[in-house]
A = this chain, B = another copy of it.
Amino acid sequence: MRPYDCAMLNTSRDLSAREVEFLPFDLGKINSAKLNTLLKHQQLLHKGQHLYRMDEPCHALFIVRSGSIKTYTPTNNGDEKVQGFHLPKDLIGLEALSEERYSISAVALTMSTVYKLPIKSLEEIYKKNPRLGNKLHKLIGKVIDNNYRMFTLIGKKNSGVRVATMLLNLSSQYHELGYSATELCLTMTRKDIGNYLGLAEETVSRIFTQFHHLGILTADKKQLVIHDVKALNLVATGKST
């Protein structure tokens, strides 16, 4: 299977059948004309370009369509806390619902496109299309559920488990998108990975070489090849030595 390709995409406003596949909803009865009235516009982001910044007023949520988005909290001292890496089908911006103002920032790690879901249209979705509203709820639940998994990972697990788990998550997410689960492109730096997992970049690097020596994977710069998914799973579940 082909590895994920961040190649250029069509950026027209209307959703084609192919694109609709990429939405995290089971669209069933909803035709794309109807959907277009809810998902207004899509937006193209170049590498390094921000989708939104902390403290900006929030008028919309976003669903990633292609590429890779990093969310992070800037800290007083110029540093940052990486909060997540978001691939196609991911919903982002929920954290802003409470204050109608983004409380974190989102930046494109590669050229990316996102669908814009105006907050005003949420009400309409719930009213006119309860099934879609239900899907949205499930997505919200998934975000929160995933957060709890992260708390366990960062609060209780050692560096090897953290890195292995993160790589497996990436792998399965790519797989669900129809790409290779074993050969993929890390869109983020070692430093970003470390920051996300509560580790130093040197530690991440060491774990990578350690996994390489165990024959589990090969990580050459951004290119990652997983040779032994089973072994990686054993590490992630703490069942390895």
Contact = CB atoms under 8 A, between A and B. Distances in A.
Given A123-B133, A133-B123, A81 B141 contact: no
A103 interface: yes
A27 to B, nearest CB: 18
A113 B103 CA distance: 32
Interface string A131-160: 001100111111111011011101110000
Interface string A108-130: 00000000000000110011001
A12 interface: no
Contact of A122 (B96, B137, B139): B137
Chain A interface size band reads: 35 or more
B144 A147 contact: yes
A83 interface: yes
Nearest to A139: B98
B148 A104 contact: yes
B123 A83 contact: no
A207 to B, nearest CB: 16
Given A148-B104, A154-B198, A130 B123 contact: yes
A151 B99 contact: no
Contacts of A134: 123
Contacts of A98: 138-142, 145
B94 A140 contact: yes
Given A94-B141, A98-B138, A150-B151, 4 more contacts: A73-B148, A83-B152, A103-B148, A123-B133
